[in-house]
Amino acid sequence: MMIRRPSDVLPSEITPKDVYFNRRHFIAGAAALGVAGAAPFGAGAAPLSAAKSPLSTDEKLTSKQDVTSYNNFYEFGVDKADPAANAGTLKTKPWTVRVDGLVAKPAEYQLEDFIKPSTLEERIYRMRCVEGWSMVIPWIGFPLADVIKRAEPQSGAKYVSFETLYRPEEMRGQNGLLPVLDWPYVEGLRMDEAMHPLTILAVGLYGETLPNQNGAPIRLVVPWKYGFKGIKSITRISFTDKEPETSWNKQASNEYGFYANVNPGVDHPRWSQATERRIGEGGLFAKRRETRLFNGYADQVASLYAGMDLRKFY
């Protein structure tokens, strides 16, 4: 479905020269991947497809309509419909990503130099929000580990921190009207979590570049953690020796920890985390699903937390 042959490409989808990869670069990526249509990241939705990773789940996908209209992105408002309604003001081209901190190769990248088309894959992941709902989303992205290796972390680098764009002119939620969170939104991972093959930077979903409301042009996706770890519209990735501050932990440390691993056995202080509602499934009375430890990814990630008390490190 997501993999299209070059013969399926409509003339209207052929990339203008000025958009993203130079032609040579694009053709190399396209040949390697069967990418049909180039990838004008940051220029609105554009075709972007890649081979499906075996790390994908085969569960039924949440509809594109739900994935792109039921969002959390407080920079654009706190209601689920706000991001789709308001994120059109976000300018995602040009876009720079700064990589700094405890690394041998700090750099400021233009997005088109940051993303290597040959590394893009489709990753269909179960996603679980701390609020008690879940989705299955066909992301397109590449391993965060690639970025880390390129940066050559120093031995003292134990954590990776991330920062969202701060631009109140384009993000109405950053205008002080909403004192819920400090801006910019920040998140972090321990180095081994960041290096894990399931951890990706996503640049697309459903065969297109990311819609603004889903965190264009580049966002983090960590499928065994609650959705708030998946920081959107990233402009900075830093390597540190100390556990970085995270937005929701700063807001309410008793409710949102640094780890945020999906765990049906550790309730949020104000609600149970034992079950979840799969978005798009049935109506008001649809049966809730049982939430799984590490969101069903325990076989791949439980070893990262061996010996840790998951009630303490929530």
Ligand X SMILES: Nc1nc2c(c(=O)[nH]1)N[C@H]1C(S)=C(S)[C@@H](COP(=O)(O)O)O[C@H]1N2
- Quickly count helices (H) and strands (E) in the chain: 8, 12
Residue number with CB closer to Mo ion (42 or 211)? 211
Torsional sign, CA 77, 81, 86, 88: positive
Residue 124 engages ligand X in binding (rule: CB under 6 A): no
Residue 232 engages ligand X in binding (rule: CB under 6 A): yes
Residue 123 engages ligand X in binding (rule: CB under 6 A): no
Q: How many Å from the N-terminal Cα to the C-terminal Cα in the chain?
A: 38
Residue 20 engages ligand X in binding (rule: CB under 6 A): no
Residue 38 engages Mo ion in binding (rule: CB under 5 A): no
User: Exposed, middle or buried by CB within 10 Å (0-12, 13-18, 19+), for 1?
Assistant: exposed
Residue number with CB closer to ligand X (15 or 214)? 214
Report whether 261 contacts 294 (CB < 8 A). Answer: yes
Question: Which residue has its beta carbon closest to ligand X?
Answer: 227
Q: Residue 54 Cβ, how far from ligand X at the closest point, in Å?
A: 23
Residue 29 engages ligand X in binding (rule: CB under 6 A): no
Q: Which of 129, 144, 160, 301 binds ligand X (CB under 6 A)?
A: 129
Rg of the chain on CA atoms, in Å: 19
DSSP state of 183: S
User: Where in 92-131 is the site for Mo ion (CB under 5 A)?
Assistant: 129
User: Where in 64-83 is the site for ligand X (CB under 6 A)?
Assistant: 71-75
User: Where in 188-227 is the site for ligand X (CB under 6 A)?
Assistant: 214-215, 227
DSSP H helical ranges for the chain: 23-33, 64-69, 82-86, 111-114, 144-151, 191-195, 247-251, 298-301
Residues forming contacts to ligand X in the complex (CB under 6 A) are 71-75, 129, 164, 185, 214-215, 227-228, 230-233
